[in-house]
Amino acid sequence: MCDLDRDRALRAIGPRSTVRVTDNLDDVAADFPHLTIIGAHPSWPWQEEALAIARHKSNYYIDLSGWAPKYFPKELVHHANSILQDKVLFGSDWPSMGVERWLEEFGQMEIKPEVRQKIMLDNAKKLFKLNF
C-alpha cells in the first residue's frame, strides 16, 4: 500500500503529507499502460506533477471537478487549452457546487471554442467509447 501502513493511509488528514502521491501515480500509469487513470479536483495539491504525468502517460487524464473554474490556476488553464486539450474532462462536483455555477464560470474562461467542446463532451466520448 504505497509504503504506508493501512491505518495511516486511512487517516490521511493532517498538516503534512510524507508521501508524494504523484510518484506512485506515475509508477502505476507506467506499469499498467492499459489502466485508465483520471485525476480529480484538479489533482490538488499535486497539480503541476499531475500535468506532467498527463503529458507523458497516455493513460492519465485530469477532470475538473471539485473546484470552481474561477479558481483554476493559470498553468492548468494553459495546459488544458493547449498540449493537454485531449486529456481534460468536465466534472462539476455536484451537489457541493451546482452545475449551473460551474458552467457559468467555465463560460467566462479564456478557453478556445474547440477545446471547450473537447472538455465538455468529446474527450469523455472518446475515452469511454460512447457513440451518441
Q: How far apart are CA 86 and CA 88, in angstroms?
A: 6
Q: What is the 3-state secondary structure (H, E, C) of 90-101?
A: CCCCCCCCCHHH
Q: Which residue has the cell 493501512?
A: 6
Task: For residue 15, count other CB atoms closer than 10 A to its CB.
Answer: 4
109-132 residues labelled b (16+ CB within 10 A) or e (exposed)? eebeeebbebbeebbbeeeeeeee
Helix axis angle, 21-31 to 47-56, nearest 10°: 10
Predicted structure pTM score: 0.81
- At 21 the pLDDT is 63
- Supply the pLDDT for residue 19: 56
The pLDDT tens digits along the chain (132 residues) read 454 555 554 454 555 555 566 678 899 999 999 999 999 887 778 889 999 999 999 999 999 998 899 999 999 999 999 999 999 999 888 888 899 999 999 999 999 999 999 999 999 999 999 998
